[in-house]
């Protein structure tokens, strides 16, 4: 999502794509907010502009590489460029377009008000389709390359998390999914457009026609556990290499020996800054409450609990705007851990299902393909027929009470450290870290 692919009139790529995680557009992001207005852009796009979004990238190319910008015929998102190569048609879909800062999410169309405010030509915009519609048929040359049949319909598609929403069955009000990948995502479908007035969540068009979704993103979820393993889990890695046991499983077995609350140890999982709810690139990880009583198992469990608290932050914002998920469905590599699913259920005080399909994005994409090829009449029908729930983890009331008390301390820590984080960034620059 969010990446910028620029094409000239011959359909050739003008420059290397600028991807979602590129941070060069800080000045353009601030300019976008200033020109359009914070409240207006939140109302229209459902999200505050981010350095990774597409509109600031367009502005950066215009500012820094004007000859290339002037050659541009259309811009596409990366998956839409693949669709262009497969069909010859330059389309995008409503979900991916929602992450450009140029899209009227409530009305599911480009916001020409924003486009005009930024001085961009509407001619640069690709036509927008609903995700399960066909963007065109597979050309003969593409079919030969892929080993498929020419004329096969190609779905408009969606971004990874909206596709995962389909694969996990989070297509309407009620169920939400939690993606415990390198980053963490909490995602719930909506039957009507709704956004967080403070911009702490992303509100996008869903890949399901006439549906929307809210999404909170934590930058370090499974990535926090990986950091701990790599930095402090040398023994576990050695044992794993000798026995064939997964080093993550060894660490989690150690954490399971510790009671909920990790002996009053709290971990802030901001190892790469944070997006939801703080939108602070300067935030950093913290173990709070370390004492002589704590060992490695306490620290591992605190990491798992800290990620769950960060997910709860996003869920609490959803509740504040009257969106209250009834259950959660866990996907991603971290969902394999029964302990982590139990911690999530206890922290959120809601049931958590492990989904049988770990890569729900690929599964949801296949469902979009089936609808585009008319194997099913609609996304919801396909989901009812193909998406199954896995193992249920129910919350433990006593543990939930413990975590409720701990969360009250957790959510006080970032505000207390916010200014210190900025001072730490100055020190990092001085030390050339």
Q: Which two tokens stand for residue 377?
A: 């009449």
Integer Cα distance of 426 and 420 in angstroms: 10
Q: Which of 93, 96, 104, 160 is catalytic?
A: 160
**Residue partners of 3: CB distance under 8 A and separation at least 6:** 17, 18, 19, 20, 54, 57, 77, 78
Do 325 and 175 contact (CB within 8 A), yes or no? Answer: yes
Question: Among this protein's residues, is 160 annotated catalytic?
Answer: yes
Integer Cα distance of 142 and 61 in angstroms: 30
**Residue partners of 327: CB distance under 8 A and separation at least 6:** 174, 175, 176, 350, 351, 352, 353
CB atoms within 10 A of CB 239: 14
Q: Which residues are catalytic?
A: 160
């Amino acid at each position: 999502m969010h990446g910028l692919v620029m094409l000239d009139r011959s359909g050739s790529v003008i420059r290397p794509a600028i991807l979602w995680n590129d941070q060069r557009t800080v000045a353009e992001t601030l300019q976008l907010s200033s020109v359009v207005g914070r409240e207006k852009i939140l109302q229209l796009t459902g999200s505050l502009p981010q350095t990774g979004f597409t509109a600031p990238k367009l502005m950066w190319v215009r500012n820094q590489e004007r000859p290339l910008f002037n050659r541009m015929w259309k811009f596409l998102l990366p998956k839409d460029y693949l669709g262009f190569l497969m069909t010859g048609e330059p389309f995008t879909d409503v979900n991916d377009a929602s992450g450009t800062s140029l899209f009227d999410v409530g009305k599911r169309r480009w916001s020409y008000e924003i486009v005009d405010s930024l001085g961009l030509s509407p001619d640069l915009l690709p036509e927008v389709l609903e995700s399960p519609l066909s963007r065109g048929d597979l050309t003969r040359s593409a079919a030969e390359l892929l080993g498929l049949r020419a004329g096969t319909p190609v779905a408009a598609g969606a971004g990874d998390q909206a596709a995962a929403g389909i694969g996990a069955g989070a297509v309407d009000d009620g169920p939400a999914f939690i993606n415990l990948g390198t980053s963490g995502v909490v995602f719930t479908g909506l039957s009507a457009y709704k956004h967080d007035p403070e911009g702490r969540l992303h509100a996008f068009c869903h890949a399901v026609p006439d549906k929307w979704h809210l999404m909170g993103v934590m930058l370090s979820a499974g990535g926090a556990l990986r950091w701990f393993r790599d930095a402090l889990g040398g023994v576990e890695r050695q044992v794993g290499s000798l026995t064939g046991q997964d080093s993550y499983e060894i660490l989690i077995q150690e954490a399971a020996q510790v009671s909920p609350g990790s002996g009053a140890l709290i971990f802030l999982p901001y190892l790469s800054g944070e997006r939801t709810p703080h939108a602070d690139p300067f935030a950093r990880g913290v173990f709070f409450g370390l004492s002589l009583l704590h060992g490695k198992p306490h620290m591992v469990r605190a990491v798992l609990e800290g990620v769950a608290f960060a997910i709860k932050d996003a869920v609490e914002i959803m509740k504040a705007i009257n969106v209250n998920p009834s259950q959660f469905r866990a996907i991603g590599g971290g969902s394999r851990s029964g302990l982590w699913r139990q911690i999530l259920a206890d922290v959120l005080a809601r049931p958590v299902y492990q989904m049988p399909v770990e890569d729900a994005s690929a599964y949801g994409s296949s469902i979009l393909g089936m609808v585009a090829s008319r194997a099913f009449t609609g996304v919801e029908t396909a989901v009812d027929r193909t998406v199954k729930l896995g193992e249920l983890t129910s919350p433990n009331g006593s543990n939930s009470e413990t975590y409720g008390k701990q969360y009250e301390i957790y959510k006080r820590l970032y505000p207390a450290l916010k200014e210190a984080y900025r001072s730490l960034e100055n020190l990092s620059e001085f030390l050339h870290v």
